Amino acid sequence: MGIGALWTFWLPALAISVIAVGLAILGLRRGARMLGAESGPKREMRIYADQLREVERDQARGIVSAEEAQRLRAETARRLLEADKKAQTVLSSSPAGMRLIAVVMVLLMPVGALVFYWTEGTPGYQDMPLQLRFAEAQQMRADRASQSQLEATWEASPNYPPAPEIDPEYQGLMTQLRAAVAERPDDLRGQRLLATNEANIGDFAASAAAWVRVIEIQGEAAPVADLVALAETMVQAAGGAVSPQTEAVLQRILQRDPTNGPARYYLGLSLGQTGRPDMTFRLWRGLLEDSRPEAPWVPIIRGEIEQLAEIAGVRYTLPPLATQGMRGPSAEDMAAASEMSAADREAMIGGMVEGLAARLANQGGTPEEWARLISALGTLGQTDRARAIWSEGRMIFADQPEALALLQAAAVPLGFIEQ
């Protein structure tokens, strides 16, 4: 247990538990004093006894007749008996043992809470501020395993599906096809057949290798459909993981077709696998809004997007709700800041920039806000942060050419890209 966790969690939790137990015990003691005092039924019995004596005195003084006195005694006696029954019920329902049980239960509450947290919670888990989470996510992306490593890990996994039973005749045809393609590696039709049939028998690694060759033969003229087939096969060969090589294929697809559904889906999946579910939510939200109900990725996204929105800190339900952003420093703000002192100007702009950066990181925003943040960071000389925002924005708005144009216009003056 770290010192930070002790001061930030355990001591406050202990203090709250002590206060709660103390208040509960005080309440029990107050209740015990009330039970020890004269109860309601006892007071009634005392009053009725006084009334009986009063009836006797009134009869002796001749205020009431003998018949009236007899009737009053009978009525008062009946009420006295009812009050006595109530008193016996109260006394039998609140013995000292019940108070002891109540005290024990109160004392056991913090113990039960501790046991529940220890078994269901995460004792000793350190604080994870947003800046640290983003840094870890960035490192996670940098340390991702390659496609070949992921394929090897998946093949050695106990969850790797068993090889399907293949008809001997079909197996013979596959052997002939592999031999023919090996002799003619530039045969586009042969490579395409090999890629398709390797996938049909469950050898996705071999299928991906054949699709790579299909793309290489066609060069820049390779159709988007072939690139999509390559990316999907690489993901299957890696057991559902998106490798850096697969992501490069996805980026190539989106450069040519920014609205491509499979590429947007797998890119969002990649971001979620590397610690950025917030970015997955932003990318998948746009994809869900653009997709037809029968698209294969729609059920998956609909099943996960609300949880992703909760992680991202965005209120979102199906159908989606529009989000409103906060404004960052505009050109007018920058002009007004020019009349301030250097220190005041830097403090004002810096505060606005940090506010916008935090808001975009937590809730997202419009392309104009992302572009404004890039420009503002460049003005402050924080080019590394501006470059990071530019890279992140490219992935978030990969499916929106107009948004990418805005980000590009903000990045060109900073030298990140050529116009």
Query: DSSP per residue over 249-297, as a string?
Result: HHHHHHHH-TT-HHHHHHHHHHHHHTT-HHHHHHHHHHHHHHS-TT-TT
Tokens 């809470």 locate to 113
Looking at the chain, the whole-number percentage of residues with pLDDT higher than 70 is 74
Say how many C-beta atoms besides its own lie within 10 A of residue 3's C-beta: 7
The pLDDT of residue 177 is 93
Say how many C-beta atoms besides its own lie within 10 A of residue 97's C-beta: 8
Read off the pLDDT of each residue in 299-323 and give the average, rounded to a whole number.
76
pLDDT bracket for residue 333 (50, 70, 90)? very low
Give the type of residue at 3: I
Q: What is d(CA 267, CA 400) in angstroms, rounded to the nearest whole number?
A: 14
The pLDDT of residue 326 is 37
One domain for residues 101 and 180: no
246-287 pLDDT tens trace: 999 999 998 888 888 899 999 999 988 888 888 888 888 888
Which residue would you say has higher pLDDT here, 169 or 398?
169
Candidates 373, 267, 261, 364; CA nearest to 311 is 364
- Helix 244-256 to helix 261-273 angle, to the nearest 10 degrees? 150
Residue 62 inside a domain? The answer is yes
Whichever domain contains 182, its CATH number is 1.25.40.10
One domain for residues 85 and 155: no
Residue 174 inside a domain? The answer is yes
One domain for residues 154 and 116: no
Burial letters for 308-320: b for 16+ Cβ neighbours within 10 Å, e otherwise?
A: bbeebebebeeee
Most confidently modeled range among 99-113, 226-240, 309-323: 226-240
Give the gyration radius of the chain's Cα atoms: 38
Structural domain containing residue 247: 141-275
- Where does a domain end: 259, 275, 291? 275
pTM for the model: 0.53
One domain for residues 111 and 206: no
CA 196-199-204 angle, to 5 degrees, is 130
Residue 67 inside a domain? The answer is yes
